[in-house]
Amino acid sequence: MVGVRGLVDYALNILFVSTRNSSRSIMAEALLNKLGRKAFQAFSAGRKPHGNVNAFTLEILKQTGYDTSNLRSKSWDDFATIQAPRLDAVIVIDGDGNKERYPIWFSDPVIVRWNFADVDSIQGTDQERQYAYRRLFGEMEQQILKLTGLDISKARGADLENRLKRIAP
């Protein structure tokens, strides 16, 4: 849909949050923006952003045909301003979110948790680490496909929250 001044009007805006915003949330953002086919606009951010996107994450995204030119590590505070995009949902994709105090997001999005393994902390050879990132990519791709398969274009509030929780990994 095209809205006022030719801007694309997405059905749902989703922010993926992880601690460092260097791998998991970046992958989720890239996956949903491609697979969501304009029904979604995905963003990512971190509580304590690393500042750089993990090299293994960039590699797997490039190898699978994803554009990585606009991906960057950013703070969730970037989305807690009046000028920030309207958020319908925040999906926390690591277990650390249980202890955190979230910023005030002006659009009052629903917050749900989808836990995925922290591949950044895996020790081992480059080959072992690449395997871990590929596996994470596959798991996240399946999860995002579940999300894009839902009829949630008009879902908001508790209805949206319940639907997102029902498909949680």
Q: Tell me: the pLDDT tens digits for 72-96?
A: 999 999 999 999 999 999 999 986 5
Domain boundaries, position 125: 4-166
The chain-wide mean pLDDT, for the chain, equals 90
Q: What is the DSSP letter of 2?
A: B
- pLDDT above 90 as % of the chain: 78
pLDDT of residue 94: 84
pLDDT digits (tens, 9 = 90+) for 40-79: 999 999 999 988 999 999 999 999 999 999 999 999 999 9
Residue 4 confidence (pLDDT) above 50? no
Half-sphere exposure of 41 (CA within 13 A, CB side): 12
Query: Would strands 40-46 and 89-92 be described as parallel, antiparallel, or unpaired?
Result: unpaired
Residues 6+ apart with CB under 8 A from 151: none
Task: Report whether pLDDT(147) > 70.
Answer: yes
pTM of model > 0.85: yes
Q: Name the more confident of 143 and 50.
A: 143
Classify residue 36 as left (phi > 0), alpha (psi -120 to 50) or beta: alpha
Domain count, the chain: 1
Tally of CB atoms within 10 A around 34: 17
CATH number, domain of 13, equals 3.40.50.2300
Q: How many CB atoms lie within 10 A of CB 151?
A: 7
Which residues have C-beta within 8 Å of that of residue 130, sequence separation ≥ 6? 56, 59, 60
